[in-house]
Structure 1
Amino acid sequence: MKKTVVSMTALLLVLSSALAACGKEEKKDAASATPATTPAAKPADTGKPFTLNLRHILIKDTDKPALTRLEDVKKKTEAAIPGLTINFEGMEENVNRFQKLRAEMSAGNPPQIFNLFGGTDTRDFSKTGNLLDLTPILTELGIKDKFNSLSEFTVDNKIYGLPLTGYAEGVFYNKKIFADNGLKVPQTYDELTKVADTLKSKGVIPFALGSKEPWAINMQMNTMWVREAGNNITEEIVAGTKKWTEPGVVAAFAKYEEMHKKGYFSKGTLSLAYPEGQNDFRTGKAAMAFDGSWAGGSFTDETKTAVAKDVGFFAFPGSGGPGDGALNASYSNGYGFSAKLNDQEKKAVKEFIKQMWSQEQQEKQYKEEGWLPAMKFELASAKEITKDISGVMGKAKTVFPAFDSVVHAKVRDALEKGMQELIGGKITPEKLAEKIQKVQDEVAKEKK
């Protein structure tokens, strides 16, 4: 990517139906033909040349396996559609999501295929009329009911995008470091702080974190304000029935500020990019990292990390608040398509969907990187880290979507800038909450 618990035990096989095109030739009068005028056999139809532009966000070194899979889908799609060429455009995620794509949707000229997030993005873009309704295509291909959840991409019963993978956010931890220091997985927030204090006293960074990219801060922060204020707090704030100044939200901001003051995160975190923060965990300098399940593949890849065999996963513990037991988990990141496709382009998009959302590709992304399948089928063999993540998902009392799929872009920006200010000691938790609520109020007025 909505509020239904994700089941990772579905055993349905992905079914996809093959498309065939057949042409009709006019019957010719055999008597009128002569050896000199009878046309030679027509060569195989190579198709009228045409191009589809595909924008992806796979531009980092860690994205290379996913880019290779996408290139494989491109080749197979081009081979199946005569005349087709698919052009790739790689773009940084936030630039695509919050700048380029929004401008293109307003202007009515998005690429034919593009990376798309569910929730707010899909809802906003669907209103422009520039997102292709995939419902009839999925029905035609026989895969409409083969996804674990399409809720984040569904607006008014129409499906506008397809997720590549499911995710859950929580704490990756180094089992060896925990064992060497006599530590157990914390069950409460107080136990978590005691674990962090012990690690810090041993010269181990408790949490790896790169805060230069502020969205990385708000992964953990999102879970913390849900823990303290309730599973539906973000939706309630957007609806106007609650505020960012609620005591539970402010308490979460204060706890996060305290964690930074105690030195629980990577040194100089505000100057570290997200991958640099992750590297503290990969190299064994940090014992924990709050991250999404998408990081599990790289954390357990022996060619990329020194801790591959020691990685586990647990849910961020609560402190008795109304949101204890809830998990940030959904299916929210994938691809969308332009509503302005001609018949030839639409035929190619159907083939792209067949290839991209096949069991072969879903299994590849799982085996190579541990990505949780977006579609319903049995995994041949699950990695230990995937078992850990699936176990956490199975034990969750309920799930909630990432805040940035719910709030307005201006509120998201205020949160991201405000969290960096909080970490830098430039604003208090109370003032931060007031600042964000002010933006929330302004957005609500604009909608009236």
Structure 2
Amino acid sequence: MTVSLRHTQVRDDVRLRLKMLEDIAQRMEAAVPGLRVELEGVEDKVNRFEKLPAEMAAGNPPKIFDLFGGTDTAKYVKAGRLLELTPILNELGLKDKFPNLQEFTVDGKIYGLPTAYFVEGVFYNKQIFKQLNVDVPRRWEDLMDVAAKAKASGFVPFAFASSDGWVANMMLNTLWVRTAGDDSVPGFVRGTRRWTDPDVADGFKRYDTLLKKGYLQEGSLGQKYAEQQYAFREGRAAMMFDGSWASAALVDAGKTKIAEDIGFFSFPDVGGKGDGMINGGYSNGYGFSASLNEREKKAAVEFIKIMYSEEMQKRQLKESGILPAMKLSDLSGVHPVIREMIQASELRQFPAFDSIVQAKVRETLEMCMQELIGGRMTVEQVLDKMQKVQEDANRDMKKLEHHHHHH
């Protein structure tokens, strides 16, 4: 019996996570006689936006697969494609070990398990901060001060590589939620908020200020995501806005000159409705095909038992800096930056905008922000365009809903 396991650990910087999956597969095979686990690696975005949706539509997804929480999960549950896990979790006594299963819960039933928790915020170089004689910025003005001093001293204020559009939108998402509040994004989709609202525009304008003042790495449009981490790891940049998933390579002393000097803070307050919140969640996880037979289900139960053990979650944390999706009873021997991120995870969370808006809206923002960075669009033009595309997407959605009610 062969069970397919689709994962997204394909980049060089996640070798250790792949190794962990290989070990989990071996243990599954040892626990279930005659089982062969077939690992298949697919790039994250390709899996999420192309491969898995096509397989789901055709009704032939892998047996175990990398699954995104929120709208993706809800959509596949509606189509009857996901195995309900509530009984398995009860049987294994795991249900209360997860601080938050919201993104994988539909109508009170659980259909996926997060592998990791993420937060997005600012990594900083403690040595550079010391040299500039500055503290962790708590307010926008402090951040501008740190950036100005870094630039004057020949450092890149923010390591930044924006040839992948989503990278450009990480800090931006946090900025406009700071200024406009976390209800802005659901509001865009409901039509109660507009991209052109002054408080949304405020966040975009602050981002534009960082660009215009040269606080974001020059030539970013020609650089792939990994390059912002290189710039930071080599000690060329004072700060880097990124997700906690980046910490793997950062705290690896073999890869990073500054491994001992890295800290993390939540983006500073700006005097807006979204102050004190952090972009975070439990979106990355695993799902299981609804069409598993009894023997395949046994393999799935083993996968859950092994993957979601304190041992594996702690190993994942130590080896790859991935924040655990489960409550851990022991954090000894963990890099201080990881502790700072786990602390930050106690702030009020808001989900990434791309887990809420329509795909077309996400794509448009990626394209528009690259135009803004390249100096080919103004903030006003970007927001007008966003609002227009949002209204089209909302209209299409209404048509679809209307269509469903009649059939």
**TM-score if structure 2 supplies the norm length?**
0.95
Secondary structure class of the residue paired with 1:171 = strand
Residues 195 and 387 in structure 2, CA contact (< 8 A), matched pair in contact too: yes
Instruction: Give the alignment partner of residue 389 of structure 1, picking from 329, 335, 341.
Output: 341
Please, which runs of 5 or more residues in structure 2 have no aligned partner? 399-407
Q: Deviations over 1:100-135 (max 9, x none)?
A: 111111221111111111112112222221122111
Deviations 1:33-92 (A, max 9, x none): xxxxxxxxxxxxxxxxx1111111111111101001000000000111111111111111
Counterpart for residue 151 of structure 1: 102
Q: Deviations over 1:7-46 (max 9, x none)?
A: xxxxxxxxxxxxxxxxxxxxxxxxxxxxxxxxxxxxxxxx
Which range moved further: 276-285 or 105-114? 105-114
Q: Is the 8 A contact 1:188 1:318 kept in 2?
A: yes
**Matched residue SS, 2:176:** helix
Shift of 1:369: 2.3
Structure 1 position 404 matched with structure 2 position 354: yes
Contact 1:214 1:420 in 2 (8 A): yes
The percentage of aligned residue pairs carrying the same residue is 52
The CA deviation string for residues 360-406 of structure 1, in whole angstroms up to 9 with x for no partner, is 10110112122222112312413211222233333x3x211111111
Where do 1:356-395 residues align within 5 Å?
Answer: 356-381=307-332, 382-394=334-346
CA distance in 2, matches of 1:132, 1:409: 25
Task: Write the letter of the residue equivalent to 2:233.
Answer: R
Report the counterpart of residue 383 of structure 2 in structure 1: 433
Structure 2 letter corresponding to 1:294: W
Equivalent residue, structure 2, for 1:26: none
From 218, 223, 227, give the equivalent of 1:276: 227
Q: Which amino acid aligns with 1:145?
A: D
Q: Which residue of 2 aligns with 1:129?
A: 80
Unpaired stretches in structure 1, ≥5 consecutive residues: 1-49
- Secondary structure, aligned partner of 2:345: helix
Q: 1:420 aligns with which of 370, 382, 389?
A: 370
* Matched pairs, number: 397
Contact 2:314 2:328 in 1 (8 A): no
Output the TM-score relative to the length of structure 1.
0.86
Residues 416-445 of structure 1, C-alpha deviation per residue, up to 9 Å, x if partnerless?
A: 111111111121112211212222212222
Contact 1:411 1:439 in 2 (8 A): yes
Separation of aligned partners in 1, 2:343 and 2:296: 42
Say whether residues 1:314 and 2:314 are aligned partners: no
In the TM superposition, what is the alpha-carbon distance from 1:262 to its structure 2 partner? 1.6
Which amino acid in 1 is paired with 2:135? K
Partner Cα separation in structure 2 for residue 129 and residue 384 of structure 1: 43
SS at match of 2:145: helix
Tell me which residue corresponds to 2:288. 337
Name the amino acid aligned to 1:248.
Answer: D
Cα separation, partners in 2 of 1:413 and 1:65, compared to 1, 3 Å: same
Structure whose residues are more often helix by fraction: 2
Query: In structure 2, the residue corresponding to 1:199 is in which secondary structure?
Result: helix
Q: Is the 8 A contact 1:120 1:408 kept in 2?
A: no
Deviating 4+ runs (over 2 angstroms): 390-394
* Distance in structure 2 (CA, Å) of the matches to 1:305 and 1:187: 27
Which one-letter code corresponds to 1:99 in the other structure? E
Please tell me whether the aligned partners of residues 120 and 404 of structure 1 are also in contact (alpha carbons under 8 angstroms): no
Larger Rg: 1
RMSD: 1.3
Residue 62 of structure 1 corresponds to which residue in structure 2? Answer: 13
**Aligned partner of residue 105 in structure 1, secondary structure:** helix
Q: 1:180 to 1:376 in 2, by over 3 A?
A: same
The amino acid across from 2:75 in the alignment is D
